[in-house]
Amino acid sequence: MKPVMTHLLVSVLALLLSPAAAQTSKRTVVKAGHLLDVKSGKTLSAQAIVIEGGKIVSVGPAGDLKPSATDQIIDLSRATVLPGLIDAHTHLTGDPKDVGYEGLAISVPRATLTGAKNARITLEAGFTTVRNVGAEGFSDVALRDAINSGDVPGPRMLVSGPPLGITGGHCDNNLLPSEYHSVGDGVADGIAGVQHRVRDNIKYGADLIKVCATGGVLSLGDNPQASQYSLEEMKAIVADAHRLGRKVAAHAHGAQGILWASAAGVDSIEHGSYIDDAGIAEMKKNGTYLVPTLYLGDWFLENAGTLNVPPFMMAKAREVLPTARKNIAHAFASGVKVGFGTDAAVYPHGLNAHEFAVMVKLGLTPLQSIQAATVNDADLLGWAGRVGALETGAWADIIAVDGDPLEDVTTLEKVKFVMKGGAVVKNEYGK
């Protein structure tokens, strides 16, 4: 062996055997005073979660654990421990102040930097995984990649890139006059057009496809109750996305758009404000998730006066948001599959957990609302077994709170411990 190669081999071996390398190989043990098994709904006492390589290797009674002298012990014996929460409807690169004409001044680079701020805030609030459903210029792709590379802190992200929408509809840019010829990034019309847009989004890094099946609230010139894409266009979108291994999330307020989107095979309906019995039946038949975004109605209507929201948006908000509560409550009672999503960006990031209390107010039990943000969302994202439960083989994404969230779900608004992939992000118990 040449001297240079021998020296290199010795150097590598020295690095691997160094104290720093040994430190990284240590296992971590989280001692939980109470642990909520989100699948069974049971709260277990005095549990130990053993973590190695960023994943959970065992969960069981703390008394059965044989500790090692090199174990890193995290004492959460005064807390209730849960899996990291999942938000299936975020817009991390946006903020409430960007609503309406204010948003025209936000460049894609600026939005991406805003996303870095919001990613940290969201992670510290206990949401260790998010599905980002709509961002201009693939800014969410850049943010996801920066988080995965360790450049900025943030949750695990599945991202859609620019949402698909029809010309002149929700997800187009309708705020500038015609001489600007401004078109939203994801605008596509006709079967060939939407097929190209799906493939283009995937080409540039989209993990899923977001489609605007109906009009929306925070947009000009469209009706939230009106369908946008035809059933045939929706089927083409879903067929290409699913064939290429991507799920589809459909923004849909209106009843017809909800029905068509589910019939076309989308994986989730976002918002669902005017959902009716026909849509509920179709969604139950197809196993389509409903991802309602509820708390935003409270926050937005209370704070819109400070945001310079255009009058046409306010008129739609005052009509749609209260109506959605009644219809969503009916959908809950009818047994649709429910995911957890917030539309954070319409209200400040970090308040995501306020959604739980509204879901409970509309008929879910605290456990059902927590399951929506854990096991249900994990299934919706296609990440069951990786996130959403404290079980062997899952990523070590863990949060802790005071009290019992099954008795008072608002305790999840005050997360005091956050771990992502075995790394502690926040620990107020260690002070």
Instruction: Give me the sheet containing 247-252, strands edge to edge.
Output: 208-212, 247-252, 268-271, 289-291, 337-338
Going 216 to 221 to 226 to 231, the CA torsion angle's sign is negative
Going 388 to 393 to 398 to 400, the CA torsion angle's sign is positive
Going 254 to 260 to 261 to 263, the CA torsion angle's sign is positive
Residue 391 tokens, joined: 């079980």
Active-site hit among 210, 235, 416, 420: 210
Provide the pairing of β-strand 337-338 with 55-61. unpaired
Cα–Cα distances (Å) from 16 to 21, 53, 62, 212, 376, in that order, read: 6, 16, 32, 51, 41
Active-site hit among 240, 343, 377, 397: 343
| Residue 178 burial class via C-beta count within 10 angstroms: exposed 0-12, middle 13-18, buried 19 and up | exposed
What does the alpha-carbon distance between residue 291 and residue 279 come to, in Å, rounded to a whole number? 14
- Beta-ladder partners of 43: 36
The helix (H) or strand (E) run that includes residue 70 is: none
210 as an active site residue: the answer is yes
What does the alpha-carbon distance between residue 378 and residue 355 come to, in Å, rounded to a whole number? 17
Q: Which amino acids are annotated catalytic?
A: 210, 343
